[in-house]
Structure 1
């Protein structure tokens, strides 16, 4: 029996190029009971990306129709593309008895925290702006896009206090371990402990006392 109630939403945010996607992949490989909520986007798939796995890739007409139908918990326009997290995606995971992992930006994290106050927000920082720039260059990003991303990074970092935890990704393995520690600590909070498990322990103890006294 699990010692914690499933149903915790963990939000991961980070400036572009900070290693967020790789960290999320590491978390999902380690924790079977943590599931990624796949976002919708109007962005074109990159090489190797698959719809339904990396994103639900849709056209703008479909995306705006979903907005009109109030299907998103949060959505935003980023560099001309739309991204959104559907209510159904989150609820399906929670109802299946798993915890949810969300990979979203700061604005989206604010909305998630507003709607789900008990969600846990984790912000990943680069070890330096210079190293972040080098990572973006190595990804062969357009120079103008890199300039915009770095400018936005400074703005994003200034909002770190919105988050419950901050992790510096100066070493990928260490960063993943630190976030795993955060997840474990959150699951072990008394408010999130599986009460059925605790009650069974109490009943087992009481029954044991009864047997001793008979």
Structure 2
């Protein structure tokens, strides 16, 4: 087989919709998928490690990276910065790996300006009530923060139509199956197969 580039997937959802649980399950069953590790200035949550969930850096370091044009995209969410390193993304794509960017709709717009081939997937909760219940089960945020997150969630969900695929995370196994199907289908697009199996196709047509 010929060497080919992987696909870049944008995965967005309001906080509490279950996108992290979904992509972690996909990673465990699909060896061709990788998650992009972003840089952030927010403090680590309990159980998070530097270099695993995020690269945790201070504001000054983040602003230096912006000045150096080191980010594929970056955004400010509440009082914190988030950004995706160009070097890490392109390195994985060139290896033929599919890469997931877990970013919001603003970051997705930035990505598509520079990489229009990116494939967008938006995860929706089954209801606003279910979303709020999931946020409260975390027991990490005050009522004020939860209200802010719910208001932000409604705004985020209003941008679902900017994505190529929408998955409602009501039944987890069904949602995971849908997401896996999207990844498999994108690997079988004609343009991808022409690049991936160019030699084979030429041989088959060389009678």
TM-score interval (norm. to shorter): over 0.9
- Please name the residue that 1:148 is paired with: 148
Query: In the alignment, is residue 167 of structure 1 matched against residue 162 of structure 2?
Result: no
Deviations 1:74-124 (A, max 9, x none): 111112011001111111111222111111111001111111101100000
Structure 1 residues 126 and 71: CA distance shift in structure 2, 3 A: same
Q: Give 3-state SS (helix, strand or coil) of 1:193's partner.
A: helix
Superposition deviation, residue 173 in structure 1: 1.4
Gaps of 5+ in 2: none
Asked whether the equivalents of residues 133 and 150 of structure 1 are also in contact (C-alpha less than 8 Å), the reply is yes
- Please name the residue that 1:26 is paired with: 25
Distance 1:65 1:78 in 2: 18
Distance 2:96 2:192 in 1: 13
Gaps of 5+ in 1: 210-214
Distance 1:205 1:65 in 2: 53
- Please name the residue that 2:51 is paired with: 52
Distance 1:195 1:16 in 2: 37
- Please name the residue that 1:39 is paired with: 38
Superposition deviation, residue 7 in structure 1: 2.1
Tell which structure's C-alpha radius of gyration is larger.
1
Asked whether the equivalents of residues 124 and 169 of structure 1 are also in contact (C-alpha less than 8 Å), the reply is yes
Distance 2:204 2:157 in 1: 50
Superposition deviation, residue 200 in structure 1: 2.1
RMSD over aligned Cα, in angstroms? 1.7
Asked whether the equivalents of residues 14 and 20 of structure 1 are also in contact (C-alpha less than 8 Å), the reply is yes
- Please name the residue that 2:81 is paired with: 82
- Please name the residue that 1:180 is paired with: 180
Structure 1 stretches of 4+ with a deviation exceeding 3 A read none
